[in-house]
């Protein structure tokens, strides 16, 4: 269903006894958001407003929201903490921050009622280890991992690496990739935490705390799958930064959460999904 459909949400909340909501829904293409900001504000904010109204009406006061590390100032040169500077630079990031602001306003209106967590994702990749659940991007993906999968399955000839002159050890961009299963577990732990504790609003980084360069990601993928990933260097992508890595100590401490899977697992499981489902779902 479409989360902006009030009647559908009302029907669902009437039919089921819903204690908490994990709000994943949203559009997430940075490029598209810059070209079509109205669509992003309409979908991302519109759906959240609709959800919050219904939750309030049905006294469902526990929310876990899929936010993004994209809301932080990307020029930060060290591990990003939850209280690091916030400064999104595109419409997608602006909508994520606006939703966090909306959620906070709702919390402040009834502090003793709401239990809310904003989970700020770093770079989720991979797929479920069964190979049955994975990412099936509509249209051309822009993110590195679905592109690597396309090169590996010979749908495109080569990967473009955006820049080999970044101030990093091998010149390519560093990100904090996190296996989707570790990410999923973070949500369950966040829900458990909210259920067990007093009303509050928390912001938590979900990343591994480890940085991996584009070249390291490609080399690990090649090693794990035995498939060569041809690539060529092209200029830096506008809006990119050299390194984005989480300080995940708060999530570890508060939730008792510990990401377990490494880059090799991410590559292995992502490739399993791709090879079992060459044309997506
Ligand atoms: C991007 C978005 C971010 C969003 C996240 C998840 C930008 C600037 N940021 O993060 O807001 O939350 O996706 O959807 O778009 N790379 C290449 N070649 C490619 C693609 C990527 O070299 O074809 C490099 C990038 O320069 C970067 C790394 O791979 O160093 C990761 O890129 P990507 O997967 O697009 O994620 P982010 O840019 O970190």
Structure token digits, residue 250: 């708060």
Q: What is the pTM of this model?
A: 0.97
Question: For residue 236, which atom of ligand 1 is closest to its CA?
Answer: 26
Buried b or exposed e, range 198-226, using 16+ CB within 10 angstroms? eeebbbbbbbbbbbbbbbbbbbbbeebbe
**Contact assessment for residue 78 and residue 33, using Cβ atoms and an 8 Å cutoff:** no
Burial 45-63 (b: 16+ CB within 10 A, else e): bebbebbbebbeebebbbb
Per the annotation, the verdict on 121 as an active-site residue is no
User: 62 - beta bridge partners?
Assistant: 115
Residue 20 has pLDDT above 90, yes or no: yes
Active-site annotation holder among 92, 121, 233, 276: 92
pLDDT tens for each residue of 97-144: 999 999 999 999 999 999 999 999 999 999 999 999 999 988 889 899
CB atoms within 10 A of CB 80: 24
pLDDT confidence of residue 121: 98
240, 241, 266: residue to mutate for ligand 1 pocket, most atoms within 8 A of CB: 240
Characterize the bridge pairing of strands 212-213 and 174-175.
antiparallel
Query: CA-CA distance, 159 to 123, in Å (whole number)?
Result: 18
Residue nearest to atom 22 of ligand 1 (CA): 161
Question: Measured from the CA of 217, which atom of ligand 1 is nearest?
Answer: 29
Which residue among 34, 237, 238, 266 has the greatest number of ligand 1 atoms within 8 angstroms of its CB, and so is best to mutate?
Answer: 237
| pLDDT value of residue 137 | 87
| Predicted local confidence at residue 49, as pLDDT | 98
3-state helix, strand, coil in the chain (%, to 5): 40, 15, 40
243 lines ligand 1 (CB under 6 A): no
Residue 186 pLDDT greater than 90, yes or no: yes
**Mean pLDDT calculated for residue range 60-77:** 94
């Amino acid at each position: 269903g479409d989360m902006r459909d009030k009647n559908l949400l009302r029907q669902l909340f009437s039919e089921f006894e819903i204690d908490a909501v994990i709000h994943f829904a949203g559009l997430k293409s940075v490029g598209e958001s810059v070209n079509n900001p109205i669509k992003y504000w309409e979908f991302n904010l519109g759906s959240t407003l609709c959800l919050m109204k219904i939750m309030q009406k049905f006294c469902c006061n526990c929310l876990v929201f899929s936010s993004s590390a994209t809301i932080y100032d990307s020029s930060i040169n060290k591990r990003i903490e939850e209280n690091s500077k916030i400064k999104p630079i595109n419409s997608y990031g602006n909508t994520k921050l606006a939703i966090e602001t909306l959620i906070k306003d709702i919390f402040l209106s009834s502090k003793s009622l709401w239990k809310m967590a904003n989970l700020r994702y770093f770079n989720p990749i991979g797929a479920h280890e069964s190979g049955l659940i994975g990412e099936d991007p509509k249209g051309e993906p822009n993110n590195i991992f679905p592109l690597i999968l396309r090169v590996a399955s010979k749908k495109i000839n080569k990967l473009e690496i955006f820049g080999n002159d970044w101030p990093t050890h091998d010149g390519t961009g560093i990100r904090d990739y996190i296996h989707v299963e570790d990410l999923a577990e973070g949500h369950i732990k966040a829900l458990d935490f909210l259920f067990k504790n007093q009303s509050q609003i928390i912001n938590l980084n979900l990343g591994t705390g480890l940085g991996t360069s584009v070249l390291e990601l490609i080399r690990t993928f090649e090693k794990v799958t035995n498939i060569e990933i041809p690539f060529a260097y092209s200029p830096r992508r506008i809006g990119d930064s050299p390194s984005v890595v989480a300080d995940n100590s708060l999530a570890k401490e508060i939730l008792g959460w510990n990401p377990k899977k490494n880059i090799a697992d991410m590559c292995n499981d992502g490739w399993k999904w791709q090879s079992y489902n060459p044309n997506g779902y």
